[in-house]
Amino acid sequence: MDDKNYVKELTKMDDNFADWYTDIILKAELVDYAPVKGFMVIRPYGYELWENIQKVLDSKFKETGHKNAYFPLLIPESLLNKEKEHIAGFAPEVAWVTHGGDNELTERLCIRPTSETMICTMYAKWIKSHRDLPLLINQWANVVRWEKTTRPFLRTAEFLWQEGHTLHSTAKEALEETLKMHKIYADFCEEYLAIPVIKGKKSEKEKFAGAEATYTIEALMHDGKALQSGTSHYFGNHFAKAFDIKFQNKEGKEEYAYQTSWGMSTRIIGGIIMTHGDDRGLKLPPNIAPIQVVIVPFAQHKDNVLNEVEKIKNLLSKKFRVEADVREEYSPGYKLNNWELKGVPVRIEIGPKDIENESCIVFRRDTFEKQTVKLEDLEEIISKLLIDIQSNMLQMAKDNTIKHTYTAKTLEEYTNIFKEKQGYVKIMWCGCTECEDKIKELTSSTIRCIPFEEEHISDVCAICGKPAKHMVYTARQY
């Protein structure tokens, strides 16, 4: 019995989290490795998840007045070089195109690691007057960053994302936009992905190359490591000056535009997996799950069973994303395990005995509870159940975050925490980069963000003892 099943067994998530992670994303058929190292193939089930994320975010962007557009994949080297901090930040990890057919190009082209430079170049042509502002554009695209070590979703050489790029006539308005999008990301994570996040600002050391300020949402994974899940940058007129994006204001004077950019990537899928998954596999929040309800029939060869399955499917399909698993070549037991592995939030089991009683069994993935439900009540029960699962998953993730949040007042306390634990550690910080470098060297943890909501732990920096400026969240990170 044991040796029959061992290939199917999942790695236990507590034993080795990294193995567990790669194990389930492959077995749940979200991704596969590509022939080119560092790249991943997103399989249909994984891509449906991404499509659902896209759908929700896209509608939120449109509600706030943004429009989608598309810009080229390749960026001439000269454009990339226009903003020096930006190029310094990205140069080590860009991929270059040097040939067109057999001919060597006179100027090599980089595959976009992000589109600021390309988009700024176009914006400079499009903006003449304050009447052209604000310009609110988003792009859904792929980008390439030649990373040394990769892991599917979390850090791949190519990833899918959206990048919003906006121009404004005042600094105030641009900053408001930056914070507005930051809030959209945070709300999206909590409401749809059931991932609680810490909202805050990045330190000078951690901010985006070329930005004046970077705002971030940080999520804590099941193993106590943090994941930067979405960023929103305020550029001031840094890029505008480098790319000559000017407009005439109401007084007729020429002025540089103020700019923002913000992005969320397929990395967030890694976040969903590592926030909610368990020893049985994925656990997807109902609001984003490709399949919300799966119907597994027992003894399906008996005629009336399949009829009943069909009826239930038709009924529920009006309101939910439903799939009926009527594959004959797999046993019911296999299907139960397989759909748990794939993280479907609700499962309906139905067989001859249930049909006789005009009922079925409803199973919830988050708590493993089973209940017998009369068929006439099914739609209503499922409706409530999905809402309940969604909020329960958020609550469980919040509890886990709280459980893994510590505070330290001294450097000794701080390093001791990281010797045996993983999680957020709240400390006071003087604001200098030397102290950031020091904790990274000692514990390989970094300042994740300066939260919007700071607490007062003490008056002095936990690292150097000088007067503290901020309370910060630190953690080891993905």
Partner RNA sequence: CGGGGUGUAGCGCAAUUGGUAGCGUACGUGGUUUGGGACCAUGGGGUUGCAGGUUCAAGUCCUGUCACUCCGACCA
| CA angle in degrees (0–180, nearest 5) for 243-244-247 | 135
Using rule CB under 7 A, residue 409 touches RNA: no
Stretch that binds RNA, among 55-63, 126-134, 325-333, 404-412 (CB under 7 A): 325-333
| CA angle in degrees (0–180, nearest 5) for 276-280-284 | 35
Please identify, using beta-carbon distances, which residue of 114 and 169 lies nearer to RNA: 114
- CA separation for the pair 257, 127 (Å, rounded): 9
Using rule CB under 7 A, residue 420 touches RNA: no
What are the Cα distances from residue 79, in Å, to 87, 112, 120, 238, 277?
10, 11, 9, 15, 43
Stretch that binds RNA, among 183-191, 324-332, 389-397, 448-456 (CB under 7 A): 324-332
x-marked contacts with RNA along 123-162 as a string, rule CB under 7 A: ----------------------x-xxxxx--xxxx-x---
User: Residue from 98, 319, 444, 465 that binds RNA (CB under 7 A)?
Assistant: 444
Placement of tokens 């140069």 in the chain = 91
Please identify, using beta-carbon distances, which residue of 158 and 177 lies nearer to RNA: 158
Using rule CB under 7 A, residue 71 touches RNA: no
x-marked contacts with RNA along 81-100 as a string, rule CB under 7 A: --------x--xx-------
**E strand segments, 9-115:** 31-33, 40-42, 67-68, 74-76, 95-100, 103-111
Nearest alpha-carbon partner for 162 in 58, 67, 263, 266: 263
Please identify, using beta-carbon distances, which residue of 355 and 386 lies nearer to RNA: 355
**Burial degree of 233 (CB within 10 A; 0-12, 13-18, 19+):** buried
Using rule CB under 7 A, residue 298 touches RNA: yes
Minimal distance, residue 266 CB to RNA, in Å: 6
Using rule CB under 7 A, residue 351 touches RNA: yes
Minimal distance, residue 106 CB to RNA, in Å: 29
Minimal distance, residue 163 CB to RNA, in Å: 10
Please identify, using beta-carbon distances, which residue of 90 and 406 lies nearer to RNA: 90
Segment 165 to 224, residues that bind RNA, using CB under 7 A:
208
CA 24 and chain centroid, separation: 17
Using rule CB under 7 A, residue 7 touches RNA: yes
- CA separation for the pair 172, 122 (Å, rounded): 23
Beta bridge partners of 359: 374
Site residue total, RNA (CB under 7 A)? 61
Residue 300 near residue 352 (C-beta atoms within 8 A) = no
- CA separation for the pair 280, 275 (Å, rounded): 14
Residue 277 near residue 271 (C-beta atoms within 8 A) = no
Using rule CB under 7 A, residue 353 touches RNA: yes
Residue 168 near residue 180 (C-beta atoms within 8 A) = no
Stretch that binds RNA, among 71-79, 94-102, 299-307, 414-422 (CB under 7 A): 299-307
User: Residue from 267, 426, 448, 470 that binds RNA (CB under 7 A)?
Assistant: 267
Stretch that binds RNA, among 79-87, 185-193, 337-345, 415-423 (CB under 7 A): 337-345
User: Residue from 76, 236, 352, 431 that binds RNA (CB under 7 A)?
Assistant: 352
- CA separation for the pair 31, 24 (Å, rounded): 10
Residue 424 near residue 404 (C-beta atoms within 8 A) = yes
Minimal distance, residue 35 CB to RNA, in Å: 10
Please identify, using beta-carbon distances, which residue of 18 and 402 lies nearer to RNA: 18
Minimal distance, residue 92 CB to RNA, in Å: 5
- CA separation for the pair 251, 270 (Å, rounded): 49
Using rule CB under 7 A, residue 14 touches RNA: no
Minimal distance, residue 247 CB to RNA, in Å: 29
Using rule CB under 7 A, residue 366 touches RNA: no
Using rule CB under 7 A, residue 333 touches RNA: yes
Question: Three-state DSSP class for 216?
Answer: strand
Stretch that binds RNA, among 253-261, 352-360, 382-390, 420-428 (CB under 7 A): 352-360
Using rule CB under 7 A, residue 371 touches RNA: no
CA 182 and chain centroid, separation: 13
Please identify, using beta-carbon distances, which residue of 87 and 350 lies nearer to RNA: 350
What are the Cα distances from residue 215, in Å, to 45, 53, 147, 206, 327?
31, 21, 23, 10, 48
| CA angle in degrees (0–180, nearest 5) for 185-190-195 | 100
Minimal distance, residue 6 CB to RNA, in Å: 7
Q: Quick one: residue 186, left, alpha or beta (phi over 0 = left, psi -120 to 50 = alpha)?
A: alpha
Using rule CB under 7 A, residue 403 touches RNA: no
**Burial degree of 458 (CB within 10 A; 0-12, 13-18, 19+):** middle
Contact set with RNA (CB under 7 A): 3-10, 18, 22, 37, 89, 92-93, 145, 147-151, 154-157, 159, 208, 228, 231, 263, 265-267, 280, 298-301, 328, 330-334, 336-338, 340-341, 349-355, 361, 363, 370, 440, 444, 477
